[in-house]
Chains A and B, each alone.
Chain A
Amino acid sequence: MAGAKILLVEDNVVNRRLAEFLLRSHGYQVREVVSAQEAFDVLNVERFDLILMDVQLPGLDGLEATKRLKANPATCHIPVVAVTSYAMKGDREGALAAGCCGYITKPIDKSRFVQEVAMHLPARAGSPGNGRA
């Protein structure tokens, strides 16, 4: 397996570029989408080991999308890590309640971001290789 497959749901192009680069640099395969609806569409046809979900999405927001994924038997097993710039009190609890297993706040810390993703990847996905290092 040439590295876990991660679905990145993020509407902001700059944020998407940053996360994609970091994940790619650590050997993960990244699929980028800009909305929840697009994520649902992609998940219908592809299999992912982990989903990085921005909370502030246009239309259906990230937490609502997570709830739907968790309610769907086909996707409920995929770990979802929330990414948010709302670092206010209660946001973390809201994310966990919606079904997320991890919670990353912006601005992201490079090492912690990578560690958080690795921690929530299922074991079979294997340790990411330092592909581009």
Chain B
Amino acid sequence: MSVALLGSGLIDVYFWYQEQKRALGAVQQEKALAAAAKIEQFIKEIERQVAWAAEAQIGAPPTLEQRRFDYLRLLRQAPAVTEVSLLNAAGRLELKVSRLAMDLVASAADFSHDPSFLKAKTVRTYFGPVYFRKESEPYMTMALAAKNVAASVTVAEVNLKFIWDVVSRIKVGKAGHAYVVDAGGYLVAHPDINLVLQKTDLSSLAHIQSARAAQPRPDERKDDVTIARDLGGGRILTASAAIRPPGWIVFVDMPVDEAFAPIYTAIYRTVVLALLGIALSVLVSLALARKMVAPIRAIRAGAARIGAGALEQRIEVRTGDELEALANEFNRMAAQLRESYDNLEHKVETRTRELSETLEQQTGIAEILRIISSSPTDIQPVLDGVVKSAARLCNAERAYILLVEGDVLRVVASAGLPRTVETPPIIRTSVAGRAILDGQVIQVEDLQGALDEFPDATIGDRFPEVRTRTQLSIPLLHDGPAIGVIQVCRLEVRPFSERQIALLKTFADQAVIAIENVRLFQERREKSYQLEIANRHKSAFLANMSHELRTPLNAIIGFSEILRDPALRVTEEEREQFLADIFNGGKHLLKLINEVLDLARIEAGRMELQIDSANITDVLDAAQATMRPLAAKKGIDLRVDRDGSIPPFAMDEGRVKQVVLNLLGNAIKFTPEAGHVWVRADVADGMARVEVGDTGPGIPPEDEERIFLEFQQVKSDGFAGKPEGTGLGLALAKKFVEMHGGNLWVVREVGKGSRFFFTLPMSRSG
């Protein structure tokens, strides 16, 4: 602004300066012109008067006297002319009239070579150079050639004091002055006469030269004002005007300093004013700055602090204007930022906590999965892992898994104290029981406040000081009724979150999967084991069948072949024996086939018992009757201990008799000659119990289990005449007993023979 102010002031000053210069120039020019006109008029007047005196009067050529008279008149009329001379055609002085000296007539002085004579002859009027008389009076010689008087020249000495007066009178300011320069550049008139007397040559000055150069066109009016240097080297403002007849030039000079003094004053004033203005504006600026910048700084610093995160910072600006409003806006923005940050931090914190919770839960789930896959056959590590993770991830003091076992629940895994082996009943008045019965997740926020609904103490609550307050039970569901429950307990009232419930549901699913896996695994293993046993059994059965069929066939085919071969000599005794062997072989085969068919029927589930009420004692008597001849052959005492008090009951009499026969047959077979075999029946625990005992060697311990399997018979010493056992009898007997709902077993007494027992239920239950 200051620059603009200054600039405008300078421009103003410049134009004003130009105008002032032009105006000053015009004034000087006017003065110069006026001076020039005065001098010119003065010169012309003198020239006219001299010309009058020079011209002959009308009529005849003037006489000298005439001339003298004329010249005296000229001296009278023109005070500036001091001396008038007449030169004749030859340049000889004929007459001289002077105010100062005696008139001269015909002095015969020769002026023929004088410049005034010669020039006048050519230019008619000649102005000579300025010269001084008495060292102080400026004079000029003026010569005029007469028109009508042949070849005469009038020479007048003109006192130029008048011009000096004119010039001196011209006042230009204080130090300004006018002066006249002749055509040669010499000073003609100047207020300082000394300069004129010294014949100062000014032709070297620039403005003189330029004025002289312009002279050839005399009428041209020059408006130019130029600035030049005077003799002393000072700067001057100068104007000039030409004086035509003598070819002189009037100069009006004024020192620039003086000429432009008002301008400089004005400039000085302007500058001072401008500086004052600038100073004032600076002061005002500073004041404004103090008022504006400080609060802006405060706002800036505050904004920077806020930007750097110091959101509690408040900007203190109390200017009561827009700045305060701006600061308040900043403060509000910071407050909002603070709030947003707090919000964000809170959100981030929440999300982080949720994420870490989720991660923990995922880790827990993955851990359970790892245990499941690393423990395909054992459920316990999985259940232990589940309760441990459940207690930890749900912040529960206790966690249990209970599985349904019949009518009760059994704790199979627990985390937290107390460890318990309780088997609570499955009832609707316990949380776990209801969760299982309803197949629903049940959470009780405060058990103490829900004693009406769940009066049954939950497990692990034997000690009042550590009673469960909040309990959550998640049923283990798998195709149908729940198979168990996961239970987490807190000793304070603090409900489990949805997230924790979801996690526990996942754990429940995993536990179910694991349990199911293990069950399937064991089932499969059991099945494949059974299949393997069955396969092995089948192979053994086929091998045994082959063996058992081939033995009687060996006798039948072998002896038949022998008997049919006429080339072989067979005694009568041998023939009888061979035929008996063939017959026994056939019978054995038949028995074998029947027993195999019975077994096949039983195994196919197509064997049906012919149930009827019968007296067990009668059955024993019939069997004894059948076996008596065989026993008698070995001298064995076969006895039945009767108990008539046993009432008749429902049985398949034929099959029961077959069982008794088999046991008796074995007993007789393994009992040495003259031994004892007995059979007796009694009642125990609602069952009829039949015992077949002998005094034989007993069953070797290693054979105890084997004897009940098909084709597994203990070799007898094989006495002649008795059909070999098929090896199926005891197995079949056991199956018949079991079909009745009874059992068959052997009691071994070392060295005391064998005692076989079987039981039959006396009341058929379906």
Q: A residues bordering B, Cβ < 8 Å?
A: 11-15, 17-18, 21-22, 25, 56, 58, 85-88, 105-108, 110, 132-133
How far, in Å, is B489 (CB) from chain A's closest CB? Answer: 64
Interface of A is mostly: loop
Contact B550 A11 (CB under 8 A): no
B550 touches A13 (CB 8 A): no
Partner of A17, one of B550, B577, B715: B577
Q: A56-B547, A108-B557 are in contact. List 6 more A-B contacts (CB 8 A).
A: A12-B718, A14-B554, A15-B555, A107-B554, A108-B558, A133-B567
Distance between Cα atoms of A18 and B604 in the complex (Å) = 39
A41 to B153, CA, bound (A): 214
> Is A21 a contact partner of B543 (Cβ separation < 8 A)?
no
Q: Are B554 and A18 in contact (CB under 8 A)?
A: yes
Report the Cα distance A62→B684, complex, angstroms. Answer: 47
Q: Provide the bound-state CA to CA distance between A9 and B567, in Å.
A: 26
Other-chain residue from B543, B547, B558 in contact with A18 (beta carbon distance below 8 A): B558
**Within the complex, which residue of A88, A107, A108, A132 is in contact with B568, where a contact is CB–CB below 8 Å?**
A132
How distant is B142 from chain A, measured CB to nearest CB, in Å? 183
Specify which chain A residues have a CB less than 8 angstroms from the CB of B547 in the assembled complex. 56, 85-86
Chain A residues within 8 Å of B578, by CB? 17
Q: Given A25-B569, A88-B546, A12–B551 Cβ distance below 8 Å?
A: yes
Tell me the complex Cα distance, A105–B551, Å.
Answer: 10
Task: Name the distance in Å between B670's Cβ and chain A's nearest Cβ.
Answer: 13
Docked CA distance A25–B578 (Å): 15
Q: Assess the A85–B551 pair: CB atoms within 8 A.
A: yes
B19 at the A interface (CB under 8 A): no
Q: A85-B551, A85-B554 are in contact. Are A14 and B585 (CB under 8 A)?
A: yes
B150 to chain A: closest CB distance in Å?
A: 194
Are B543 and A108 within 8 A (Cβ)? Answer: no
User: Smallest CB–CB gap between B137 and chain A, Å?
Assistant: 184
Given the complex, which residues of B lie within 8 Å of A21, measured CB to CB?
A: 562, 570, 574
Residues of chain B contacted by A17 (CB below 8 angstroms): 577-578, 581
CB pair A13 B718 closer than 8 Å? yes
- Expressed in whole angstroms, the minimum distance between the Cβ of A64 and any Cβ of chain B is 16
- Please give me the residue from chain B that is nearest to A130 by CB atom: B567
User: Is B720 at the interface (CB under 8 A from chain A)?
Assistant: yes
A85 touches B550 (CB 8 A): yes
Does B546 contact A85, Cβ atoms closer than 8 Å? yes
Give the distance in Å from the alpha carbon of A88 to the alpha carbon of B90 in the complex.
Answer: 198
Nearest CB in chain A: distance from B556 CB, A: 7
Q: B551 contacts A13, CB within 8 Å?
A: no
Within 8 A of A (CB), among B524-573: 542-543, 546-547, 550-551, 553-559, 561-562, 565, 567-570
In the bound assembly, the distance between CA atoms of A62 and B578 in angstroms comes to 26
- The answer to whether B565 touches A107, judged by C-beta atoms less than 8 angstroms apart, is no
Known pairs A107-B553, A107-B556, A107-B557; A88 contacts B543 (CB<8 A):
yes
A14 touches B568 (CB 8 A): no
Chain B neighbourhood of A12, CB < 8 A: 551, 718, 724
Write out the residue numbers on chain A whose beta carbons fall within 8 Å of the beta carbon of B550.
Answer: 85, 87, 105-107
- Whether A11 and B556, one on each chain, are in contact in the complex, defined by CB atoms closer than 8 angstroms, is no
Within the complex, the shortest CB–CB distance from A26 to chain B, in Å, comes to 9
A18 touches B568 (CB 8 A): no
Nearest Cβ distance between residue A122 and chain B, in whole angstroms?
Answer: 26
Distance in angstroms from B724 CB to nearest chain A CB is 8
Query: What 6 A-B pairs have minimum CB-CB distances, sorted nearest first?
Result: A85-B550, A58-B715, A107-B554, A106-B554, A18-B558, A107-B557
Residues from chain A with a CB closer than 8 A to the CB of B568 are: 25, 132-133
Q: Which of B9-26 contact A (CB under 8 A)?
A: none
A-B contact pairs, 15 of them (CB 8 A): A12-B551, A15-B551, A15-B554, A17-B581, A18-B581, A22-B558, A22-B562, A85-B547, A88-B542, A88-B543, A105-B550, A106-B554, A107-B556, A107-B558, A132-B569
Q: Are A14 and B555 in contact (CB under 8 A)?
A: yes
Kindly state the separation between the CA atoms of A56 and B585 in the bound complex, as whole angstroms.
18
Determine the residue in chain A with the shortest Cβ distance to B542: A88
CB-CB nearest in chain B for A35: B715
CB closest residue in chain A, given B558: A18
CB distance from B468 to the nearest CB of A (A): 67
